Amino acid sequence: MANTKLKGKKVAILTENGFEEVELTSPKKALEDAGATVHVISPQSKKVKAWNHDHWSIELKVDNTIDKADPDEYDALMLPGGVMNPDKLRQNDDAVSFAKTFLMEGKPVAAICHGPQLLIETGLLKGREMTSYPSLKTDLANAGVNWQDKEVVVDKGLVTSRSPQDLEAFNRKMIEEIGEGIHERAAMH
């Protein structure tokens, strides 16, 4: 029997060209296997291209562009890493605004590796418990995060992990948090 834990849930995966392939494909498959509807959202209009370790790889179909996507249509947000992807997204006002809405409304947000870079731009991370790829530790700490070196850290619906090695734990916790639904809304500072 198919897993229906997330049946009826709609999850946005926000990404740009240069996402780390497995950091999008693994969570996407886990979400779909749990019964969620998953949409790839990007500033790119038709396809978005993956990076695999040290080279360009697969292309994925974009379901909706960031300028047209409505965060109210989604129950949760997933942010894959890769070095190029979050750096492009954090400079995109629509992407920052989209992610900020999920945090402000207490909807589950899952970010892996370099993915949390985008969340720094929201200004809503002060006091949160998080992890990331080690090179983001200082950036997150400067944003007021209590950074931890753990495979997965959960803080009121915000799920973060360090790298592809953590995907199993990341996917499990992401599905659990999305299943729980709305968490505490982020305080505006």
Mean pLDDT over residues 173-178, rounded?
Answer: 97
Mean pLDDT of 78-102: 97
Taken as a whole, the chain contains a residue count of 189
What tens digit of pLDDT does each residue of 9-18 get?
A: 999 999 999 9
CATH of the domain at 106: 3.40.50.880
156: left (phi over 0), alpha (psi -120 to 50) or beta: left
What stretch of H or E contains 6?
none
Q: Is residue 124 part of a domain?
A: yes
Is residue 101 situated within a structural domain?
A: yes
Residue 74 has pLDDT above 80, yes or no: yes
Q: Which pLDDT value is given to residue 4?
A: 80
Residues with catalytic roles: 113-114
Is 35 inside any structural domain?
yes
Q: Read out DSSP for 52-72? A: ETTEEEEEEE-SEETTT--GG
More confident residue, 114 or 183: 114
Rounded CA separation 33/166 (Å): 18
Domain assignment present for 163? yes
Q: pTM of this prediction?
A: 0.95
Predicted local distance difference test score (pLDDT) of residue 105: 96
Count: domains in the chain: 1
Query: Range of 59's domain?
Result: 10-180
In a domain? residue 16: yes
pLDDT value for 1: 43
